[in-house]
Every structure is written in structure tokens, then in C-alpha cells.
Structure 1
Amino acid sequence: MSKPSRWLNLVAFLLSHRFAVTRDRIFEAVDGYGGETESARRKFERDKDELRALGIEIETVPLPGAAGDEPATGYRLRARDTYLPYLELTDQPATDRPYGLDRLVLTRHELALLDRATSALAGLADSPLAPHAASARRKLAFDLPPPPPPPRPLP
């Protein structure tokens, strides 16, 4: 099994559980680890590190009430740390935008400003932010309609 397939299986498994799961349970359920061996443990540790480097934050948490001498460790992905908020376009200006909402509401004017700013920034080849602006444009295009064309000057 390829590494990206194993990563995808691990992420999907963790997202399907609301609470932390043990490494033993992960090894039983996720294809690509093949049981509780030293090799599987090393592979799992590498996968966690590489996924974290990609921005997928696998949280390690102690599990209460574990039997045995050592406390058990669980692993989880929090949905709020993994998913982007749903974007919504509205004609009404937002009055309150608390952080942590499941969606982000933009007015048409805000979307047009965001479109112009990210377009200009993505076009600056020397800017270290250019790839991030291009990425933001792709993400916005997924959820939102294209911004309206700029107004034409009067003749």
C-alpha cells in the first residue's frame, strides 16, 4: 500500500471517531499498518510526523482509566482544526463575526475586494505569499460563485 493511501485511511479513520482512539485500535482498523509490530509503530510515528508537517494536526491525548502500568495514549483529529469553514455569500453586511464559526459570510463587495487582492498577490512572482494567495483563490472558487466583473467605465 502506498504512503498517501495509508495517510488517507488514517485520516478518514480518525475523523470518523469523535473521541481519541488507541494505537492498537488504529492498527486493527486501518489498512497499511499490519498489526502491532515494531515496524508498524515506527511507520505510524513517521506518518503522524509527516501529516503534521502537512498541516494535519493529529492530537495525542492520555486516556483515563486505562488498565496496566502505563497510561494509554489516544489519537484524534478535531473536526474544527481539520475542516475549513463553509463560505457563504450574502447581500447583507455582517454585524458580528465571532471566531470559531462553522461558516464565514462575505458580502459581494468583500468578495470582490478579496478577489482583486489575491489576484494581485498571486501575480507577484517574487512574493513568498504568492503561492498562498493562489491557494486561497482555489479554495474560494470551490465554495463561492465567481465574483462579479468590475464595473465598466461610462462612455
Structure 2
Amino acid sequence: MFSLTDSLPADKPALYATLAAQARALIEGETDAIANAANFSSLVYHSLDGLNWAGFYFFDGKELVVGPFQGKPACVRIPLGKGVCGTAAQTRETQLVPDVHAFAGHIACDSASQSEIVVPLVAADGTLIGVWDVDSPHLARFDDEDAKGMAELCRVFIEFGWTRAAR
């Protein structure tokens, strides 16, 4: 078992590998996808420095709807193609935004947010599950290593926290 008080590695690849292992250990045996999303959000939010929001938006068949998260209250519904989250969902490509104010159509749920990374959550059969959204009050907080690490975390969530969970 893991502990949030375990020291985390300083270099990003090792940090994300450790977080992925912790996430898997945390969610693998749980059958409730929402409980898994809540614990996953908390794990990431409390493990990474410089975040002010980390959580899920799930696709309901029409739009993204806020799911479990850590941070200030959030926008509840986001149309596909709107803002960073809607763009990630529509394009199914990770959005790495060093300055949210330079992103055309950015939706400001928290005015403190300066940078953002959003990873689309897509099931093995191609079905859109939603997006994983992480914001920071610091400009350029996220880089390509964060994008790779977040993608791996999301793979773990989809496989162990969502797909295997009884829905």
C-alpha cells in the first residue's frame, strides 16, 4: 500500500511513474467509478505542486459535466469544442496551455488559473468518457513531461478506475 506522506521523486518521469503506481493501488480493487475519480483527483491534487484545480468532466452524450475534483467550485457544463476542456474532448488530443489568457475561448471558472493541461479520456472502443483537467495559478506550469505523465495517469484511471468499475 502507498501513503501520501511517502516522499516523491524530484524528476518528472519518476514522479509520474510513482503517482501511476499509487493511483493503481488506490483504485484497482474499487468497483465504484465515481469513488475512484474522487480518490484519483485527491491523489494528484495533493501530490503535485502548483495546482489550484484537478478533476474530471464526464461526457453525458451531449456535453461535459463536472465530476469529482479538488479545488474551488467549477463550471458545471461545458459544450464540446468550447474552452480548453471542450477542445480536448472534441479533438481527443491533450491540450497543453501555458497561458490560458492566450487560448481563444478559454472558460475562466477560477480567475486565479494561469495555465492548464487537459487530457481526453477515451475508452478502448473509442467512446469518449470525458476529460481530466488540471489548472495552475502559475504561467507555463505544465510541459511535455507533464503531458506524458498525465496521459499515463489517465490510462491507469481508464483501465483500473473506470473500465473495471461496475457502472
TM range, normalised to the smaller chain?
A: under 0.3
Considering fraction of residues, name the structure with more strand.
Answer: 2
The answer to which structure has the higher helix fraction is 1
TM-score relative to the length of structure 2: 0.25
> Looking at CA atoms only, which structure, 1 or 2, has the larger radius of gyration?
1
Q: Which has the higher contact order (CA 8 A, sep 6+)?
A: 2
Give the TM-score taking structure 1 as reference length. Answer: 0.26
